[in-house]
Amino acid sequence: MAGEDRVLSGGAKYIDFQTDPSRYRHWKLAVDGDVATLTMDVDENGGLFEGYQLKLNSYDLGVDIELADAVQRLRFEHPEVKVVVMRSGKNRVFCAGANIRMLAGSTHAHKVNFCKFTNETRNGLEDSSENSGQKFICVVNGTAAGGGYELALATDHIIMADDGSAAVALPEVPLLAVLPGTGGLTRVVDKRKVRRDHADYFCTIEEGIKGKRAVQWRLVDEIAPNSKLETKVAERAKALAAASPRNGAGKGVALTPLNRKIDGDALRYDFVTVDIDRAARIATISIKAPETAPPADIDGMIAQGAAFWPLQVARELDDAILHLRINELETAMLVFKSHGDRAQVLAYDDFLENNKAHWLVNEIRQYWKRVLKRVDVTSRTLVTLVEPGSCFAGTLAELVFAADRSYMLVGQKQGDNRPPPAIALSAMNFGPYPMSHGLTRLESRFQADPSQIDEAKAKVGEALDAEAAEELGLITFALDDIDWDDEVRVFFEERTSFSPDGLTGMEANLRFVGPETMESKIFSRLTAWQNWIFQRPNAVGEEGALRRYGTGVKAHYDMTRV
């Protein structure tokens, strides 16, 4: 099942992010022509950990792992689907939000990573709507509280039952002394354009808002009596399907299980390898270039299915990043390396660029964008080493630009017969993979002088050695063989000695240069404040709201405003 505890070498357990519909315990996926239905029917005894029950469609990370998988499969396996209806399988309740007992009993790190993953999943709904043409309708048949309403907020259209009991609510501040954890505050005012004073009232009451006021305040799009609810849902689904730009034809691509082996300090996939040095607190992620040329045409790509190199590598890297985030909490640094034929990587980039109008190619490009965004918001120091034999070209070069620090060797190392390192750019570096604030990584890098982007674009396809890459501003340092080992070693030792709290705050501030979007606000403002609040006694202390919720004893607050 999703989130199943498995044992690593040494007896440690980890949470698995791989699942499939045959193993779902909390969601049901049904497809009928161009409309799919995702029904949330949480197994209250199916929590990841002991000590809580997932009553009233409340959820933990395991529930969201299934949701993320379902949304991903709808994009890749069901090109015919244009509308997704999200609804509850429970009577008179949509979703009670994140499970309070789970939050109260979780470590600080688990709470923060849980919120980050749920944010990414909800952003994925909006990304599917915007870039894949799969529109989402949420049917609120009862209470949609906290994370339940935040899930509804991520959809395109909210229809609520007008039966006197169905309501939407964000009660985290008055009940739990925390913030809505998955973008609720931001989406209410930035996406749904709810007036600030209305939002202030809404976010400080426990019972929520129902009926006509919910529509008037823009909290939902429309209401319908139970006798007309299904008719209304069908009408909206038909209208959204008719307006959808999704043009998928034929069969989708089955997202078959990854070939992954976890053995103590290593993860092995077909093209991605992760080696963990626990003493040094460093995880090295190595990516291998394809060994064969791209297919001759779209039919050849479809025939390869999930084994098509760009799709397979994206899936492997995504799984590796999630594993490191949640299961390797003491890892301080992620070091990216690559090896293989740089020309082959560029050839696949050319294939993706030349066929970008095809629905499956679009999905692969969009997926790479999301994986790279996941790298961006991962709270580890990101370092890229461009060494002999590396293949940081085009799509893979984005890992150089995503890094907090990058080092590139000048020439070769003594006794190493591999070719000197070079970086190559492609069209993929100039638009398809924006960060969460809407800028490409090169645009973020060259804020002071945008003309440098044009200089870099003029070099597309060229093999850029260390001196050229440094002159163009593509790397941090170019080092010769004499200095390489010592410079890199000293940097690693120094960086891993710093406070992880200070580094997380510093890195998150420096990575996102320039404008803000709704998505970047969710990851910057929300993540920073929630990270802080999750450590405050008012929320998580022995007398705090999370601990005392449901006990009948009122929380005790330190009333100092800071």
Instruction: Give 394-447 pLDDT, tens digit per residue.
Output: 999 999 999 999 999 999 988 888 999 999 999 999 999 999 999 999 999 999
* In the predicted structure, residue 287 carries a pLDDT above the cut 90: yes
For the residues 332-353, what does the mean pLDDT come to? 98
pLDDT value at residue 284:
98
For the residues 163-172, what does the mean pLDDT come to? 96
Torsions phi, psi for 131 (to 5 deg): -110, -10
Give the model's confidence band at 1: pLDDT under 50 very low, under 70 low, under 90 confident, else very high: very low
pLDDT value at residue 9:
41
For the residues 93-108, what does the mean pLDDT come to? 94
Least confident interval from 48-62, 148-162, 201-215, 509-523: 509-523
Residues 348, 313: contact at Cβ < 8 Å? no
pLDDT value at residue 445:
96
Q: Identity (one letter) of the amino acid at 449? A: D
* In the predicted structure, residue 360 carries a pLDDT above the cut 80: yes
CATH class label, 26-243: alpha beta
Instruction: Give 45-74 pLDDT, tens digit per residue.
Output: 999 999 999 999 999 999 999 999 999 999
Give the model's confidence band at 247: pLDDT under 50 very low, under 70 low, under 90 confident, else very high: confident
pLDDT value at residue 14:
84
CA dist 216 and 220 (Å) reads 8
Tell me yes or no: is domain 261-505 CATH 3.90.226.10: yes
pLDDT value at residue 5:
45
For the residues 460-480, what does the mean pLDDT come to? 97
Give how far Cα 519 sits from Cα of 131, 428, 485, Å. Answer: 15, 22, 39
**Structure tokens that stand for 543 in this block:** 């007398």
For the residues 451-456, what does the mean pLDDT come to? 97
CA dist 230 and 226 (Å) reads 8
Q: List the chain domain ranges.
A: 26-243, 261-505, 519-547
pLDDT value at residue 526:
74
Residues 353, 426: contact at Cβ < 8 Å? yes
pLDDT value at residue 264:
84
* In the predicted structure, residue 346 carries a pLDDT above the cut 90: yes
Residues 184, 149: contact at Cβ < 8 Å? yes
- Burial (CB count within 10 angstroms: exposed 0-12, middle 13-18, buried 19+), residue 266: middle
pLDDT value at residue 13:
64
Give how far Cα 472 sits from Cα of 165, 265, 371, 384, 448, Å. Answer: 61, 37, 26, 17, 14
For the residues 120-147, what does the mean pLDDT come to? 97
3-state secondary structure of 280: coil
Q: Identity (one letter) of the amino acid at 93? A: V
Give the model's confidence band at 561: pLDDT under 50 very low, under 70 low, under 90 confident, else very high: confident
Residues 411, 420: contact at Cβ < 8 Å? yes
Residues 421, 384: contact at Cβ < 8 Å? no
**Structure tokens that stand for 166 in this block:** 């169905």
For the residues 448-469, what does the mean pLDDT come to? 97
String of DSSP letters for 421-434? P-BB--GGGTTTS-
CA dist 70 and 73 (Å) reads 5
Closest alpha carbon to 383 in 303, 282, 501? 282
The mean predicted confidence, pLDDT, of the chain is 94
Q: Return the percentage of the chain with pLDDT > 90, whole number.
A: 90
- Burial (CB count within 10 angstroms: exposed 0-12, middle 13-18, buried 19+), residue 36: buried
Residues in the chain, total:
562
CA dist 367 and 372 (Å) reads 9
